[in-house]
Amino acid sequence: MDKAPQNLAILFADISGSAKLYENLGDVEALATIERCLAIIRQACIDSGGRVVKTIGDEVMAVFPAADGAARAATDMQARISAQRTSRGTGLAIHVGFNYGPVLEEGNDVFGDSVTVAARLSNLAKGGQVFTSAQTVEELPPALRARTRSQQAHTVKGKQKDIDLFELVWQETEDELTALSTHVKFRPARLALKHGDHQIELSEAAPTLSIGRDLQNDLVIGDRKASRMHARIERRRDKFVLIDHSSNGTYVT
């Protein structure tokens, strides 16, 4: 008799820029650094009532009975990893995706469309981000739901319909976020940014832009006053929002 599907929250957490760690730190130290991060991720899952399904390379997969457990684990692991440093003083980052829905359990593993969506959400997220789906946000308690931010609907490979994407803001206080909205008159909204000889355009196809000193950012700022992950600009329907993650602040003209 076939097993009946059950609703679970599936979480994927992946270390950002792991290949660069091997290049910059060497094999031995990079492997030790990655193992330290994976241990933090696994412990955060366990602390929030989750079960670690497996570790694949530098990615952890876990399941939770409810969406709030996955959300708390995601925010916890982001906070812990953001406090880590390599021997050279550089920061570490992870990108996380989680989704709540029906799955089939086979042994210790889980399968189904909900798992596929969770994996895709993790792939869409950049270092320091947590992505989830609209259906998962509906399952969150009010306090956690208030920490989500709607993103542009995104096409996901293998899905006929776009997924309504949400980011879960994991910083401890809302004071750490500075949101500046710039309304545009015409749709679809587009924003062109120029820095030196580089020009980048935000649009439906490229709705987010990360800014900072870290080389994994879309726009790398070679200024010591800039933070490693200084800020992010997001396209939200008919406006653009600047989210400030910096220590020194961001001035917009």
Task: Read off the DSSP letter of residue 188.
Answer: S
Residues carrying CATH 2.60.200.20, the chain: 177-244
Is domain 6-168 annotated with CATH 3.40.50.2300?
Answer: no
Rounded Cα–Cα distance for residues 171 and 75 (Å): 8
Rounded Cα–Cα distance for residues 58 and 155 (Å): 25
Residues carrying CATH 3.30.70.1230, the chain: 6-168
Rounded Cα–Cα distance for residues 73 and 64 (Å): 9
* pLDDT for 195: 81
Q: What CATH class is the domain 177-244?
A: mainly beta
What tokens were used for 134?
């609209």
Give pLDDT tens digits along the chain (253 positions).
457 889 999 999 999 988 888 888 899 999 999 999 999 999 999 999 999 999 999 999 999 999 999 999 999 999 999 888 888 878 899 999 999 999 999 988 999 999 999 999 999 999 999 999 999 999 999 999 999 998 877 666 666 567 788 999 987 544 444 443 333 333 466 788 888 777 888 777 778 888 888 888 888 888 878 888 888 888 765 678 888 887 777 777 6
Closest CA to 151 of 134, 167, 136, 162: 167
Closest CA to 216 of 198, 207, 228, 226: 228
* pLDDT for 172: 57
Q: Is the dihedral of CA 118, 122, 125, 128 positive or negative?
A: positive
Phi-psi group of 17: left, alpha or beta (phi > 0 → left; psi -120 to 50 → alpha; rest → beta): left
* pLDDT for 159: 63
